[in-house]
Amino acid sequence: MTQQKMFLSDNAASVHPAVWNALRAADDPQPPYDGDRLSQRMDSVFSDMFGRECSALWVGTGTASNCLALATMVQPHGGVICHRESHIESDECGAPGFYLHGAKLLLADGEGARLTPATVETVLAGITRGIHQVQAHAISVTQVSEYGLAYRPDALAEIGAVAREHGLPLHMDGARFANAAAFLDCPPADVVGPADALSFGFIKNGGMDADAIVFFDPERAELARWRRKRAGHLQSKGRFLAAQILALAETGIWLDNARTANQAAAEIAGAAKGRLMHPVEANEVFVYLGAAERAALRAQGFAFYDWDDHSARLVTAWNTRQEDAAALGRAIAAL
């Protein structure tokens, strides 16, 4: 595998130089866990970013981030309304069942793996059998969705209104939150909208092994601290996780990295117009490609995953070179 032609996933991409520098700079003796200088600064960095009081925790994976956030919202006998193609439903090996002690995922529809007020209401309307049925305790949306589509601020506001009406907190899986922010080109506060907690992905954004959970309610954050420790996610040298997050979030790098990735995806999308399964709004391009076509591209050195028998998923990352994206675009166009 050579780096310049990798379109497999952003989840294993290289670590950004600024992150490396921050890691090395963090290697002086400091109090363990999150008692260090860097961890202590996380709240204020995110408070600045979102323009309101935040409590932020680092954690080693997106799965833990999603599950710990939801654990502050959902009791074991409750459920989470989420899209049936969401990551928590399909790709976390039942982690929500573990972290939420058996709570249920209540599956909703919606184009492009995005919920709508109507599809959320449909799930809620189906909960009619009282004590015999699992009740919704929270809603979870993914920004950007599994198909790389962004929720617009007004769409989020509408879902937030439904949530409020039913007394449900709102969680946002933001594994690619940065890509959404880059695409929407509006303040982070508008990208997160009315969510009560955000699982903010940095690992796909140039980090090594640190994501953040940003709580807009300090009580939830306190609760999450207990659950994080209990889940074995309170690292003793937590300063190294904080360092990664701050290196990206405190500077503009998180947004720059996302813009680079989005731009590369746009480059491919422009060349593959007739083949797109979904509009391209972030750093994922889903293209209809037959088996022979996929083989032809791979023969030219492009690495990517099949999506199904008739299509492929092409993912760009912060370190994708635009010339490689352009080359892939040309190769697809030439098929």
Within 256-295, the residues that bind a second copy by CB under 8 A are: none
Q: Which of 97, 117, 194, 301 touches a second copy (CB under 8 A)?
A: 97
| 32 binds a second copy per the rule CB under 8 A | yes
| 176 binds a second copy per the rule CB under 8 A | no
Contact string (CB under 8 A) for a second copy, positions 226-245, x = contact: xx-xxxxxxxxx-xxx----
Distant-in-sequence, close-in-space partners of 90: CB < 8 Å, separation ≥ 6:
146
Residue closer to a second copy by CB (options 2, 274) is: 2
Helix/strand/coil for 178:
helix
Residue closer to a second copy by CB (options 145, 184) is: 145
Using the contact rule CB under 8 A, the part of the chain among 19-27, 142-150, 177-185, 260-268 near a second copy is 19-27
Q: Are 231 and 70 in contact (CB under 8 A)?
A: no
b/e code 152-180 from CB counts within 10 Å (16+ = b): bbebbebbbebbeeeebbbbbbbbbbbbb
The kind and range of the H/E element at 75 are none
Q: Are 238 and 33 in contact (CB under 8 A)?
A: yes
Contact string (CB under 8 A) for a second copy, positions 121-140, x = contact: --------x-xxxxx-----
Q: Which of 162, 203, 253, 269 touches a second copy (CB under 8 A)?
A: 203
Residue 54 CB, nearest approach to a second copy (Å): 20
Residue 189 CB, nearest approach to a second copy (Å): 27
Tell me how many residues contact a second copy (CB under 8 A): 72
DSSP annotation of 129 reads S
| 150 binds a second copy per the rule CB under 8 A | no
Give, in order, the Cα–Cα distances in Å from 244 to each of 128, 142, 200, 252: 46, 23, 13, 13
Task: Count other C-beta atoms under 10 Å from residue 294's C-beta.
Answer: 21
Residue closer to a second copy by CB (options 50, 240) is: 240
Q: Which of 21, 25, 51, 102 touches a second copy (CB under 8 A)?
A: 102
Residue 56 CB, nearest approach to a second copy (Å): 16
Residue closer to a second copy by CB (options 95, 265) is: 95
Residue closer to a second copy by CB (options 95, 170) is: 95
Residue 216 CB, nearest approach to a second copy (Å): 21
Report which of 188, 184, 316, 192 is spatially closest to residue 257, judged by C-alpha positions: 316
**Which residues, 66 to 95, sit near a second copy by CB under 8 A?**
67, 76-77, 79, 90-95
Cis previous bond, 59, omega within 30: no
Token pair of 331, please? 């190769």
Give, in order, the Cα–Cα distances in Å from 131 to each of 77, 127, 128, 134, 147: 10, 10, 9, 8, 35
